[in-house]
Amino acid sequence: MKFVCSACGATAPVTTRAARCACGGLWKLDFKPPLFDPELIDRREWSLFRYRAFLPLDGAESADSASTQSIEKWRAVTLGEGMTPIVALDEDTLLKMDYFMPTLSFKDRGAAVLVAHAAAIGVESVVQDSSGNAGNSVAAYCARAGIACEIFVPEGTSPAKIAMIKSHGATVTIVPGSRDRCAEVCRAKVADGGAYYASHVFNPFFYEGTKTYIYEVWEELGRVPAHIFVPLGNGTLFIGIVKGLEELLAAGLIARMPKIIAVQSERCDPIARAWEDGAAEPAHITPMPTLAEGIAIGVPARGAEILEYVYKYGVNVVTAPEGRILEARAALAAKGIYCEHTSAATYAAYLDQRDRHGRIYDSLIPMCGAGLKSDH
């Protein structure tokens, strides 16, 4: 197991504290789990670590000391994340209730694995930037692991998210300006001071955690639905879903890739525009304010990687109509599902596609964040 630079191909041990390659390229993780085999699921473990045979924790391929130590680190770090139910909303639509998580969003999947790794390599303090949810997750898992934590959030972030981050003992730095500006300020601190960057975007261990979303879908349903909707900002759930599906495909547990429909905000749509133009890099856009704060990413750092997957697997990239987010949220709430605006945006996009093209059978939509977090 090692890091490989996505730009120049240089390698580094996973014990590195460098947030990215010296050339500026982002790390990819060279980790090949065994073929996905249901027999290897630890059914006594009631968290996503039941899939640890397929996670970069136990040194399956490597005997380096970091991976050996992390065998036990995950036990000290887990908060019982994952194992979220799938609920039928109507005859066409399934909801995966990922806000039933320790910090109320899907980000716990990635943060649990990332922080287990950071603890295993002896990291004592981390920094991270976030629209709020990833910061909540990293702060909680760092608190659990005894790692000091500073989270940068953009101005306008939901007060409930900020209060939660602080409650875990993390320092919160509020950055004036956009979500992209917030990332720049945090990355400047990483570049200057060498702080460990527990980034859900830069650090590939995060994606190894989010791929458990698909493992669970397969384990719960015994299959993967025909249409997989996924919100797309920085792509941490998107990339995890693609990786998970690739593993199921390689293991022969699914016959083909399902149709993936990635959802951006119509007010912040760099990937959707690139896809419409057939471009390899995200479009340059000026983000406009949106209720879907979780996907308001104007400059997705892994944009080119996301677009590679989009073309490879015939993904559709659609946008959520801003004017339907509140309506979608109210429709879900009227059925007992109180999600945050960013999750309602995915449902708004689904409703919009259905109005345009007719029924979308066998659709799976993630309910990524809890409603109380975005009430402001």
Ligand X SMILES: Cc1ncc(COP(=O)(O)O)c(C=O)c1O
| Smallest gap from residue 369 Cβ to ligand X (A) | 3
Looking at the Cβ atoms of 152 and 238, the one nearer to ligand X is 238
Considering just the CA atoms, what is the radius of gyration of the chain in Å?
19
Interface with ligand X (CB under 6 A): 105, 131, 133-134, 231-238, 294-295, 297, 340, 342-343, 368-369
Does 26 help bind Zn ion (rule: CB under 5 A)? no
Give the SS3 label for residue 197: strand
Binding site partner of 14, from ligand X, Zn ion, none, Cβ cut-off 5-8 A by kind: none
- Does 21 help bind Zn ion (rule: CB under 5 A)? yes
- Identify the sign of the CA torsion 197, 286, 172, 210: negative
DSSP E strand boundaries for 56-203 = 86-88, 93-96, 125-129, 148-154, 171-175, 196-197
Helix (H) or strand (E) segment spanning residue 76? helix 65-77
Q: Which is nearer to ligand X, 164 or 297 (CB)?
A: 297
Kindly tell me which of 29 and 297 has the beta carbon lying closer to ligand X: 297
- Measure the CA–CA gap between 352 and 318, rounded to whole angstroms: 10
Q: Please state the closest distance from residue 226 (CB atom) to ligand X, in A.
A: 22
Is residue 174 at the binding interface for Zn ion, with CB under 5 A as the rule?
Answer: no
Nearest CA to 279 out of 315, 304, 262 is that of 304
Nearer to Zn ion, 102 or 204 (CB): 204
Among the listed residues 3, 5, 141, 154, the single contact to Zn ion using CB under 5 A: 5
Give the residue, chosen from 18, 23, 76, 326, that forms a contact with Zn ion under the rule CB under 5 A: 23
Give the integer Cα–Cα distance in Å for 73 and 228: 32
Least distance from Zn ion to the Cβ atom of residue 152, Å: 25
93: three-class secondary structure by DSSP: strand
Nearest to 248, CA basis, from 219, 209, 227: 219
**Partner interacting with residue 237 (select from ligand X, Zn ion, none; CB below 5-8 Å by kind):** ligand X
Q: Which does 138 bind (CB under 5 to 8 A by kind): ligand X, Zn ion, none?
A: none
Cα–Cα distance for residue pair 191/231, rounded to 1 Å: 29
19 binds Zn ion (CB under 5 A): no
The token pair that represents 309 in the structure block: 């997957």
Is 18 a residue that touches Zn ion (CB under 5 A)? no
Q: Name the residues that contact Zn ion, by CB under 5 A.
A: 5, 7-8, 10, 21, 23, 25
